[in-house]
Structure 1
Amino acid sequence: MQLGQLMSLKDTRTERCKIYYWKPSGGFKYQTSIENTSGAGMKITGHHTRVVDLPRPVGPLGGGPGANIATFVTLKIQTDEGVEGIGYAGFASNVLSKALKETVDGLAGLAVGDDPLMIEAIQERLLVAGGGGAPAGLVTRAVSAIDVALWDIKGKITGQPVWKLLGGHRQRVPTYASGYLWRTYDLDALAETAPKLVADGFKAMKFRMGAEDSLAKELERMKVMREAVGPDIDIMLDINQGWNVNQAITVGRELVNYDLFWLEDPVQHQDYSGMARIADAIDTPIASGEYHYGIVPFRHMLEERSIDIVMADLLRAGGLTGWMKIAHMAEGYNLP
């Protein structure tokens, strides 16, 4: 492309989405608004955010300030046709909730005047506006909330649930109990709580290990869980990055007798080669991904063959748009 040459990317609904042009002094530049000239006329006109503290009976990490409170920033995006979209941002402590709210406010404000159906174009522009560097942090959490709210608007405009717009084809999906059986539960609490979840109708549940000071104590937790629910209930085990590679292999080989559905985040989530060693050494499937931001880390995990089950988190992945891209990557590697 010659210097100064224009390259226009068009969409069937728009006369122009972005216009890229090359400047010798500054590389590629592009316009910062997304214009809809299709005649539909819908525009984002504003937004509203709130910080919400939700109580929970037991926190995942024990005591301390805010341990039993889950803090979220809720988002409502408004349009000139009265259609509103709802999203939320999370996984920030109450110490960071103010900063997260301000990040959501700042980025959502940049979308005012845009066509809310131009979801991916808006997401890309906001990520660049947020810094354009590594995706981890408040920017991606905020953009994820905005992305979900835009998909909500799209579903309301089309009169379709979002799962259908994304290509879903099932009316029901399996679920598992996750917000219980924390590492702070002692053996009696595990033995008491797990059967109650079965009585509530759950066919699968997740519990935590990784804090005990000996292999025997770790395995005792696993033994209590399996005995509490019987052989027909699927059990997922989450370590929350609590082991090193050698520990994970040692304990993982012992866990094979308990028929685990998956072993989740056994080591630090960016240790791709270490995770690959674990995956090769044990028979239990390795699940990971919820700590990652954006889509690029999933490429590295898949290329390293460090996971068997891809676990993308909507609030960190970049909303529904990022989550779907990760799902397609997993499909290309024949992984769930």
Structure 2
Amino acid sequence: MKITGHSTRVVDLPRPVGPLGGGPGANIATFVTLKIQTDEGIEGIGYAGFASNVLSKALKETVDGLAGLAVGDDPMMIEAIQERLLVAGGGGAPAGLVTRAVSAIDVALWDIKGKVTGQPVWKLLGGHRQRVPTYASGYLWRTYDLDALAETAPKLVADGFKAMKFRMGAEDSLAKELERMKVMREAVGPDIDIMLDINQGWNVNQAITVGRELVNYDLFWLEDPVQHQDYSGMARIADAIDTPIASGEYHYGIVPFRHMLEERSIDIVMADLLRAGGLTGWMKIAHMAEGYNLPIVSHLATEVMAHGVAAARNGLTIEHMPWTFGMFTEEPKIEDGMMVLSDKPGLGIEFDEEALDRYAAS
């Protein structure tokens, strides 16, 4: 079997205003979709993206350039292809556009491998379990006022979620930050797991001060309290508070995770496959975390990441982030707070071609 070609598109999917506040592009999520074709008629899909649409043209060109280099290769040789493409990316790897492009290609190759073997990717990667806990994300932003938080959170519980993430870090006082936390806990009650994401918004002293107060609200984790490369600072926070620290989504490749683990700066490893090097890189990080007896969780790319979390023995929970759902013919299946993976070969998902036409970037 040989790779014969590929195709890409840029799509702007609608989403609620979130991490970019009310600025340009805040109400869209831009992705570069990828299809890789083979001489046996089997096709694999993947995608790349940023939180912003500013670099979408450059990202598409990077995906096109690197995917073109794989024409003629055996798609089953996933490690060899990734290694060669990262080298071809030169100074752009392992970070930025190159790694995001290679990650999309990697995912498409795993989709092909699953279709060739007749197996779902989660089984090919390890096959630990078919039902994995999931939590609602992408609904409770720091731009929401207290009334919006109190109104939205119970709706997620009514939808069947047993865990959810919300954001803090934008208030100008400790009292206001804690009031947000109080409103959230009261809105969902004591039996719902709450993850709190700061998106690097505090300094170390703030994180320790607020973190000690947050212990009364029984958080599932505190995410990215400070700048993601401040390993020693996060280690100080982890030592000072009882709430587990989760971090890792901002890192590219696998090496930064070794540094985080060696510094003992986190309790929960969070890896983003769009930055990590696709499913191949993400699974390496999962196994590295397992060696430190730590769990791993996903970031974004729900319909793809479900395969990694289900395959990893230390997979903890899947982020249910709806930004990408509009690209596909089906949404992930949720039952009683669990994401249920299918036995369909490959990723088990298909692009919705009508939706891609409708949301094609202008």
TM-score after normalising by structure 2: 0.81
For 2:250 and 2:148, how far apart are their aligned partners in 1? 27
For 1:218 and 1:65, how far apart are their aligned partners in 2? 27
Say which of 76, 82, 86 aligns to 1:117: 76
Deviations 1:7-36 (A, max 9, x none): xxxxxxxxxxxxxxxxxxxxxxxxxxxxxx
Q: CA RMSD in A?
A: 0.8
Deviations 1:26-51 (A, max 9, x none): xxxxxxxxxxxxxxxx0000000000
Percentage of matched positions with identical amino acids: 99
Aligned to 1:306: 265
Q: Check the 8 A contact 1:45/1:112 in 2, yes or no.
A: yes
Q: Check the 8 A contact 1:59/1:69 in 2, yes or no.
A: no
1:133: Cα distance to partner?
6.1
1:99: Cα distance to partner?
0.1
1:94: Cα distance to partner?
1.3
Higher relative contact order (CA 8 A, sep 6+): 2
SS of the aligned residue for 1:175 comes to: strand
Structure with more helix by fraction:
2
1:168: Cα distance to partner?
1.7
For 1:306 and 1:329, how far apart are their aligned partners in 2? 15
Say which of 144, 148, 162 aligns to 1:189: 148
1:135: Cα distance to partner?
1.4
- Count of equivalent residues: 295
For 1:213 and 1:106, how far apart are their aligned partners in 2? 45
Say which of 77, 95, 107 aligns to 1:148: 107
Deviations 1:96-145 (A, max 9, x none): 00000000000000000000000001001100100156512000000000
1:91: Cα distance to partner?
1.5
1:314: Cα distance to partner?
1.0
Aligned to 1:157: 116
SS of the aligned residue for 1:127 comes to: helix
For 2:170 and 2:270, how far apart are their aligned partners in 1? 22
SS of the aligned residue for 2:8 comes to: strand
1:61: Cα distance to partner?
2.7
SS of the aligned residue for 2:135 comes to: coil
Q: Check the 8 A contact 1:127/1:139 in 2, yes or no.
A: yes
1:88 aligns with 2:56: no
1:330: Cα distance to partner?
0.2
Aligned to 1:38: none
Shift in alpha-carbon separation, 1:134–1:144, aligned structure 2, 3 A = closer
Q: Check the 8 A contact 1:272/1:304 in 2, yes or no.
A: yes
Q: Check the 8 A contact 1:236/1:261 in 2, yes or no.
A: yes
For 1:56 and 1:227, how far apart are their aligned partners in 2? 27
1:57: Cα distance to partner?
2.5
Deviations 1:202-260 (A, max 9, x none): 00000000000000000000000000000000000000000000000000000000000
Q: Check the 8 A contact 1:92/1:100 in 2, yes or no.
A: no
Q: Check the 8 A contact 1:61/1:184 in 2, yes or no.
A: no
Aligned to 2:187: 228
For 1:184 and 1:72, how far apart are their aligned partners in 2? 24
| Runs of 5+ consecutive residues of structure 2 not aligned to the other structure | 296-362
For 1:191 and 1:311, how far apart are their aligned partners in 2? 27
Shift in alpha-carbon separation, 1:171–1:134, aligned structure 2, 3 A = closer
1:58: Cα distance to partner?
2.5
1:69: Cα distance to partner?
0.3
1:95: Cα distance to partner?
1.4
SS of the aligned residue for 2:4 comes to: strand
For 2:51 and 2:221, how far apart are their aligned partners in 1? 26
Q: Check the 8 A contact 1:183/1:207 in 2, yes or no.
A: yes
For 1:92 and 1:314, how far apart are their aligned partners in 2? 14
For 1:211 and 1:62, how far apart are their aligned partners in 2? 11
For 2:191 and 2:161, how far apart are their aligned partners in 1? 11
1:307: Cα distance to partner?
0.4
Aligned to 2:286: 327
Deviations 1:177-211 (A, max 9, x none): 00110010100000000000000000000000000
Moved more, 164-173 or 47-56: 164-173
1:155: Cα distance to partner?
0.3
